[in-house]
Amino acid sequence: MPEQLVHTFALPNGLTLLIEPMADVQSAAFSLLVPGGSVYDPADQAGCASVLVELLLRGAGNLNSEALTNALDNLGLQRHEGVGRQHISFHAATLAENLPDSLRIYADIVRRPHLPNGEFKAAVAGCAQTLLAIEDDPYDKAMLELRRMCFPSPWGNPSDGTLEGLSNLGMKHVKQHFARCFRPNGAILGVAGKVDVAEIKTLVEAAFGDWKSKPDPGFTTGSRGPHQGHVEQQIDQTHLAIAYDSVPCRHPDYYTAWAANWVLGGGSSARLFTEVRERRGLCYSVHSQLTSTRDDGRVLCHAGVTVDRAQEALEVILQEIKRLPGSIQESELNRCKAGVKSELIMQQESSSSRAAGLSNDWFHLGRVVSLDEVRQKIEALTVNSLHEHLEQHPPQDFTILTLGPRPLELDREGIL
């Protein structure tokens, strides 16, 4: 891979700017993380950040809602705005020549939004539809409830909020959230693509440099949920959701943990898919993923199975998880490494992926991890290093959530 050079700048107001030039592409992208995510929602107003995101794009600077939408579309932006737990994020990619105008518009969006009172009900209705869609999707519902159980509050709380929280909201609460949380200190802007570093730095200083810093408003933390739970839904399947502790992104063993999870449930050649679906025919799809907050990591597993075979499927999945330590084969690790190489090549060719990687790395690690460093860390993995990691961090203390017409026997001998 060619040498990857990332330029890092700290503006006096606390905003971090990361720029990665990519000479071989014609696009440019940015990823802007602004403090104000769902962890800052008041306990009885879960969903405040989601409503704010809906309103931020309904007029900003000297553009009303329609003019703002047209301006973004005229720039050919492929964009996404969303609520994370720590940040509200803005991601966009376009032709490199359109990036400066795009950044100027987004400076207005995060600094000078109109937040029109007349749009409040429509924004709340849109967020409510998102939550109702989750209720109608058994997979999304099961994983949302699993996360609520296995992560401490507010990290386990749903980032989209709750219907009850939305019902307690008024426009004043949304404006208070914006005034309290949106600030440059703690904000991160990653830019990647065919860009001139000096030009982008000058532009960002002009557009964001006089943005006034604010104190961190903080948030209240609490305990995690129970280790076992059931959500009753009269559907034709039972959804199994299982979690156990792992390590976060900033842990020295993160890539070792990631590779161990890949062997367990990262693809169609992984153990869960091979044993649960291919050999036993217990489900159509089954997978696991390593997910991380800044300080906590969990492996989350899911399978959707027929009701009459759900108990058997749960027991087989747990057996495979428990069997992982000490049993990983060289061929499994080699497949993992081959998959990573393909993924790294695709990231290298995508300005969107690189921009998102810059801002996410900085938040989690306080530095940018180059693609070459990732490759070296993956190449250095051995079967022994995976086994040593799993000996130190064995899969145990399981959190189990079932969703379906009836609960399973979780207290049966050998389950936990």
Q: What is the pLDDT of residues 214-255, one digit of tens each?
A: 999 999 899 999 999 999 999 999 999 999 999 999 999 999
User: Is 218 domain-assigned?
Assistant: no
Answer whether the bond into residue 154 is a cis peptide, omega within 30°.
Answer: yes
Looking at the structure, tell me whether residues 276 and 391 fall in a common domain. Answer: yes
User: Is 100 domain-assigned?
Assistant: yes
Bigger pLDDT: 372 vs 198: 198
For 323, residues 6+ apart whose C-beta sits below 8 A from its C-beta are 271
User: Is 219 domain-assigned?
Assistant: no
pTM for the model stands at: 0.93
Question: d(Cα 77, Cα 54) in Å, to the nearest integer?
Answer: 18
Strand partners, 246: 297
Question: d(Cα 8, Cα 2) in Å, to the nearest integer?
Answer: 19
* pLDDT, mean over the chain: 94
Helices (H) and strands (E) in the chain, counts: 15, 11
Q: How many residues does the chain have?
A: 416
User: How many domains is the chain partitioned into structurally?
Assistant: 2
What is the pLDDT averaged over residues 285-306?
A: 94
Q: Tell how far CA 91 is from the center of its chain.
A: 13
Q: What is the pLDDT of residues 375-401, one digit of tens each?
A: 899 999 999 999 999 999 999 999 999
Q: What is the pLDDT of residues 1-56, one digit of tens each?
A: 455 699 999 999 999 999 999 988 999 999 999 999 999 999 899 999 999 999 99
Q: What is the pLDDT of residue 172?
A: 97
Strand partners, 302: 241, 287
User: Is 62 domain-assigned?
Assistant: yes
Looking at the structure, tell me whether residues 198 and 240 fall in a common domain. Answer: no
Taking the CA of residue 144 as centre, how many other CA atoms within 13 Å lie in the half-sphere pointing to its CB?
A: 18
Q: What is the pLDDT of residues 110-124, one digit of tens each?
A: 999 999 999 999 999
CATH number reported for the structural domain that contains residue 245 in this entry: 3.30.830.10
Looking at the structure, tell me whether residues 147 and 239 fall in a common domain. Answer: no
User: Is 170 domain-assigned?
Assistant: yes
**In the predicted structure, residue 66 carries a pLDDT above the cut 60:** yes
What is the pLDDT averaged over residues 354-373?
A: 93
Assign 410 a pLDDT band (cuts: 50, 70, 90): confident
Bigger pLDDT: 266 vs 404: 404
Question: d(Cα 33, Cα 82) in Å, to the nearest integer?
Answer: 10
Q: What is the pLDDT of residue 412?
A: 65
Strand partners, 88: 34, 83
What is the pLDDT averaged over residues 171-177?
A: 97
Bigger pLDDT: 359 vs 2: 359
What is the pLDDT averaged over residues 75-103?
A: 96
**In the predicted structure, residue 290 carries a pLDDT above the cut 60:** yes
What is the pLDDT averaged over residues 87-95?
A: 97
For 236, residues 6+ apart whose C-beta sits below 8 A from its C-beta are 306, 307
Structural domain that includes position 252? 228-404
DSSP string over 79-147: EEEEE-SSEEEEEEEEEGGGHHHHHHHHHHHHHSB---GGGHHHHHHHHHHHHHHHHT-HHHHHHHHHH
**In the predicted structure, residue 339 carries a pLDDT above the cut 70:** yes
| 197 within 8 A of 7, measured Cβ to Cβ | yes
The domain boundary residue, chosen from 208, 243, 259: 208
Q: What is the pLDDT of residue 239?
A: 96
